[in-house]
Structure 1
Amino acid sequence: MKEIESSNLFPDRLYLIYRVGRLAFSSGIFFLFLSLSSISKLPVAPSSLFILGIYVIVSVALLLFSKKPYTFEFLLDEAVIFTLVASNVLNYNFFSIFLIFPVFFSTIILGSISGTTSLIFGLFLHIIFFLQKHNEGIATGVQTVLNSTALIAMFVAGLKLERKLKSQAFYIKELEKEKERTEFYKRLYEISANMAHEIKNPLASIKGALELIKEGKQNERLLEIIFKETDRLDRIVKDFLHLSRPSSPIKTEIFLPEAFQEILQSLQHFGKNYKLDVEPIKFKTDARGFYSTIENIVRNAFQWADSKVEIHCHKNNHTLEIIVEDDGPGIPEEEREKIFEPFYSKNPNGSGLGLSIVNKFILENKGTVKVEKSKLGGARFVVRLPLSEEV
């Protein structure tokens, strides 16, 4: 989705450019006249300098604090420019040069309604100026017509560009949707192929053992292969169903020390030493998903540890932090993102779905999981889950 959001960056950049230009314009004129006043008589009325000073402050505030553009700020720009022209700070011949910018940029950034409002206001200011200066001759009328025409032309140009940007953004969005669909099916095909591969191997072992039994070569080793591979198939199917099943909306209260002790009891057969440090915390969550998540992480640590595993669980502000680390070979940095992908596993006896189940549960519960290098030498899993359901 990041690419789709990038289609809005062009108007955002234009708004930033416009805000910087507004500040440069206002502060440039302000400090120019301020400098001139220090060496000679002030060339403009003090009220004009006061207006410029206020405008500089507003420009700074908009640059620093305004993230969203509003129509009123473009109208303000036009009003200030008109005030400067009426005060003879700016020459009317250059009036349209400055006035076209609020009209043009408001049309592109905010759309046709804001652009039309800015155009009407700009034309209104031209008419007022003409009514004030019409006694100065026909040149003033001609200049007003030319300025108004330029203003309308810039509005039309801005309108065309704004429509082109919208069309381009829509086209990019459609491309991104198509890319997402392609990626989805590509990933689906990959998962299907991996699933077939994972199921094919134990089925081949079972089939081979049954063929030997059929030929009368029955022995305990063949039966052991059948039971072992059947158990492996069962684990793969259960993990896959767990991965595809949505989290339960039912929240159950869990007492963490008891939960970790129960999980560790089921992993005693690994024969590894472990250190358990768990705060006596209770909180509500999807119990089945939580147990499966912690068991998969701890099981992974027990499988790869040489001799030692450390488990820490404590409260950090409003977050439950669970750290599981081991003294095994660790996980190379380039593989730390891949290990959460379905069927990615370096363990020949694993299904490759355990850490995918972990990632799914943590994401669904607005948590995070990070893999680092442990001080013990192996892998260090850091899980953080919000404790908003703490009891």
Structure 2
Amino acid sequence: MLISFQIAGLSYAIPRLMFILAVYSFISLLRLVVFTKKIHYFDFLLDIVFISAMVYISFGVYSYLTLLYLFPIFFSSVIIKTKKIFLFPVISAVLYGASYYISGVITEKESILNISLHFLSFSLIALAGDNLKERMEKQEQHIKNLEEEKIKMKGYERLYRVSADLAHELKNPLASISAAVQFLNEGRNDREFIDMLGTETKRLTTLVNDFLLFSRPSDAPKEDVDLSETLKSLVNRPDSDKNSDKKITLNVINNAEVVANRTFMEVALNNIIKNAIEAAKSEVRVSLIRNQKEIKIGIEDDGSGINEDIKDKIFEPFVTTKTNGTGLGLAIAYRIITGFGGNIIIDRSSLGGAKFTIVFPKVMQ
């Protein structure tokens, strides 16, 4: 505004006008430096006061300066969350009328009409701003509702997909059990059918238990869990499912604690370690490091890695590349770890296989 007034020659015609603008610019800059967080009534009141000062100084010379009133009135009705939309139009009209009063022409018919028309225009622009604000708020609420509906629909879609996958997984062992029962009813007491019943029943039990663990909420009792001790116990404990011919290297620091449920955390880490062991050719590395902000667990193998086709779906239920896998191990691990505030990142291992990095924010002491 200083530059535009300088170009228009107002600095030469009315020097005091440039002084008013200089003072206004200084106060506005000081306001922005000291209070930077939000706009308040003071900002619009400051605008109106200085506009009134310019109108008074240029009274009867540059009448178009009254158009500047419209800017603070409009933006105040849009930005400030209040129903008192006529506050600034009234203040503007009063200060504008004060110019006529000081000049001694307030009683003239033309002056009263001029002030009334200005107040009408101020009120209309305030109503327009308030109407725009209401439209914007309704639009924001509509967008928010659409986003919530989209999230809800994604949840239903995932539920339908998981339900269909679960039904499919249950169908195969139930078909085998049904066939075995039919043969036994026919008097064929072959050991093969009895073993089939045992195998498929065990498979169903495992599948149901895994699904219950996956669906269980993460509001389990929490405590301080030492991840270094948990990893040591998981790697060193006897486990018939582990391949004894594969080398497991453990490199962990001590006293790395997170707030979680100990049993759930053991299940999650064991699922990832077990998955790495099964995918590895000869070696698995488990590491634990800590810095000022986070705790990281790295589990990597020298296997063939994860195909790009399923990389984005690897933590979804029933996604598996194993012949006899349920596809719930990594899904359970992801649900537990994210439920306790952590995250899992998949990357390529320096060994050639897959690397799972589990990240927890460090607990503030």
Counterpart in the other structure of 2:284? 309
- Per-residue CA deviations over 1:58-96 (Å, capped at 9, x if unaligned) read 47649xx74533232222222222223233399652234
Q: 2:242 aligns with which of 268, 272, 275?
A: 268
Distance 1:234 1:59 in 2: 68
Counterpart in the other structure of 2:350? 375
Distance 1:271 1:91 in 2: 97
Distance 2:227 2:141 in 1: 49
Q: Is the 8 A contact 1:96 1:150 kept in 2?
A: no
Counterpart in the other structure of 1:295? 270
In structure 1, the residue corresponding to 2:176 is in which secondary structure?
helix
Q: CA deviation at 1:295?
A: 0.9
Q: 1:143 aligns with which of 94, 98, 114?
A: 114
Counterpart in the other structure of 1:73? 43
Counterpart in the other structure of 2:217? 246
Counterpart in the other structure of 1:50? 22
Q: Is the 8 A contact 1:93 1:143 kept in 2?
A: no
Distance 1:126 1:268 in 2: 87
Q: Is the 8 A contact 1:112 1:159 kept in 2?
A: no
- Per-residue CA deviations over 1:354-374 (Å, capped at 9, x if unaligned) read 222222222222222111121
Aligned residues: 358
Q: CA deviation at 1:252?
A: 4.0
Q: 1:229 aligns with which of 186, 196, 200?
A: 200
Q: CA deviation at 1:294?
A: 0.4
Does residue 156 of structure 2 align to residue 185 of structure 1? yes
Counterpart in the other structure of 1:209? 180
How high is the TM-score relative to the length of structure 1?
0.80
Distance 1:383 1:90 in 2: 73
- Per-residue CA deviations over 1:320-358 (Å, capped at 9, x if unaligned) read 211111122222446333212222223232222222222
In structure 1, the residue corresponding to 2:248 is in which secondary structure?
strand
Q: CA deviation at 1:273?
A: 1.8
Distance 2:22 2:170 in 1: 80
Distance 2:97 2:12 in 1: 32
Counterpart in the other structure of 1:103? 73
Distance 1:89 1:55 in 2: 24
Q: Percent identity?
A: 30
Q: CA deviation at 1:262?
A: 2.8
Q: Greater CA deviation, 376-385 or 164-173?
A: 164-173
Q: CA deviation at 1:187?
A: 2.5
Q: 1:131 aligns with which of 101, 104, 108?
A: 101
Counterpart in the other structure of 1:280? 254
Q: Greater CA deviation, 125-134 or 170-179?
A: 170-179
Distance 2:50 2:189 in 1: 98
Q: CA 1:130–1:343 in structure 2 vs 1: closer, same or farther (change >3 Å)?
A: farther
Distance 1:166 1:256 in 2: 47
Counterpart in the other structure of 2:128? 157
In structure 1, the gaps of 5 or more residues are 1-28
Q: Is the 8 A contact 2:272 2:330 kept in 1?
A: yes
- Per-residue CA deviations over 1:128-183 (Å, capped at 9, x if unaligned) read 22222343865544432322221111111122222223333333344444444433
The structure that is helix-richer by fraction is 1
Distance 1:389 1:291 in 2: 23
In structure 2, the residue corresponding to 1:113 is in which secondary structure?
coil
1:192 maps to amino acid: S
Q: Greater CA deviation, 349-358 or 87-96?
A: 87-96
Distance 1:109 1:36 in 2: 31
**Alignment map for 1:338-349 (pairs within 5 Å):** 338-349=313-324
Q: Is the 8 A contact 1:257 1:279 kept in 2?
A: yes
Counterpart in the other structure of 1:30? 2
- Per-residue CA deviations over 1:225-268 (Å, capped at 9, x if unaligned) read 33332222122111111122223543345444442233233352
Distance 2:60 2:178 in 1: 92
Q: Is the 8 A contact 1:367 1:383 kept in 2?
A: yes
2:251 maps to amino acid: D
Q: Is the 8 A contact 2:214 2:328 kept in 1?
A: yes
Q: Greater CA deviation, 144-153 or 334-343?
A: 334-343
Q: 1:118 aligns with which of 88, 95, 98?
A: 88
Does residue 313 of structure 2 align to residue 365 of structure 1? no
Distance 1:285 1:33 in 2: 65
Q: CA 1:232–1:154 in structure 2 vs 1: closer, same or farther (change >3 Å)?
A: same
In structure 2, the gaps of 5 or more residues are none
- Per-residue CA deviations over 1:170-206 (Å, capped at 9, x if unaligned) read 3334444444443333322222111111111122222
1:77 maps to amino acid: D
